[in-house]
Amino acid sequence: MATETLSISKALNIGLRRALENDPKVVIMGEDVGKLGGVFRVTDGLQKDFGDQRVIDTPLAESGIIGTAVGLAIRGYRPVCEIQFDGFVYPAYDQIVSQVAKMHYRSGGKLRIPLVIRIPFGGGIGAVEHHSESPEAYFSHTPGLKVVSCANPQDAYVMIQQAIASDDPIVFLEPKRRYWEKGPVDLDAPIADAYPLHASRVVRPGTDATVLAYGPMVRTCLEAATAAAEDGRELEVIDLRSISPLDLGMVYESVRRTGRAVVVHEAPSNVGVGAEIAARITEECFYSLEAPVLRVTGFDTPYPAARVEEEYLPDLDRVLDAVDRSFGW
């Protein structure tokens, strides 16, 4: 193997396969992850190759999945739990914030919970209710949890292995509408030398404004930057990658150069991740800002019916409009 062109779903599949091969304590569990290979086929073929004791089809009981995984983690295993869709995570919310997030602190550091909770998140696939939500703010607000999101196949392949190897509980958000988008993946690059899991990355350099995103919105922002360049405006796009903890050193450096910042995410605006980022940028870069930090987000409503979801989701035009408004101050 060397560099191959893979979809995000396939890159995740190979990353999970590598983790299973490298550590016999890694187990995968969730609804339909085994024989079916997952709703999005991310775990396709893994049960056939590793057996039903390591790739486990569970009952439809998210609280039970996470509760069982906590016990496994305490006993030295490294469980990887799949929540089938973002909106299905809430039955397990109590387990995640009351047990998963707090066990290490509660035990005075004696217990570790090396648990990964994979959640396909976000909209854009024409799904029914409870299948298109963005719950990252709930978990990012909870001390004891780490939250990350991949945006391209290379990061998907590397980040899932880094998350599984971590001794901390990690909510791993997968941008479901990007599952089938392809890109180059270096399958031979040592994971130990890979880009850090909790670090932001500049994915497009620019000089005129800084645009920040994670997960499914990274591509949207890159498309907006391409369109803006045709009008002579160079946007610097930063993929945050880690939502908790936030890595904003690179962001501050960028904003001090550009003087403008726009934060983009699918989740509603009110008390969202973008609000925290805007506050921190304002605190650290106030004298460099030429305009307020602006947010482009979903609306403060429940996620709408599929036939109107494109009106809800941030798109290229809304990102460019925010950039224009930033220059209008």
Provide the percentage of residues in the chain whose pLDDT is more than 90: 98
140 and 21 in a common domain: yes
316 and 244 in a common domain: yes
For residue 225, what are the domain limits?
A: 201-327
Domain boundary among 167, 192, 217: 192
Q: What is the pLDDT of residue 1?
A: 57
92 and 152 in a common domain: yes
Side chain identity, residue 177:
R
**Pair of tokens at residue 169:** 């509980």
Q: What is the pLDDT of residue 261?
A: 98
- Which pTM value belongs to this model? 0.97
- Per-residue HEC secondary structure of 117-179 comes to EEEEECCCCCCCCCCCCCCHHHHHCCCCCEEEECCCHHHHHHHHHHHHHCCCCEEEEEEHHHC
**Pair of tokens at residue 140:** 């990012």
Give per-residue pLDDT as tens, 61-72: 999 999 999 999
115 and 135 in a common domain: yes
260 and 156 in a common domain: no
User: Exposed (0-12), middle (13-18) or buried (19+): which is 269, by Cβ within 10 Å?
Assistant: middle
What CATH number is attached to the domain comprising 290?
A: 3.40.50.920
180 and 116 in a common domain: yes
What CATH number is attached to the domain comprising 52?
A: 3.40.50.970
161 and 30 in a common domain: yes
262 and 164 in a common domain: no
Residues designated as active site: 131
Number of domains in the chain: 2
Give per-residue pLDDT as tens, 80-110: 999 999 999 999 999 999 999 999 999 999 9
262 and 163 in a common domain: no
**Pair of tokens at residue 149:** 């999101």
218 and 156 in a common domain: no
283 and 149 in a common domain: no
- Closest to 214 in 3D by CA, of 279, 149, 159: 149
61 and 207 in a common domain: no
pLDDT averaged over every residue in the chain: 97
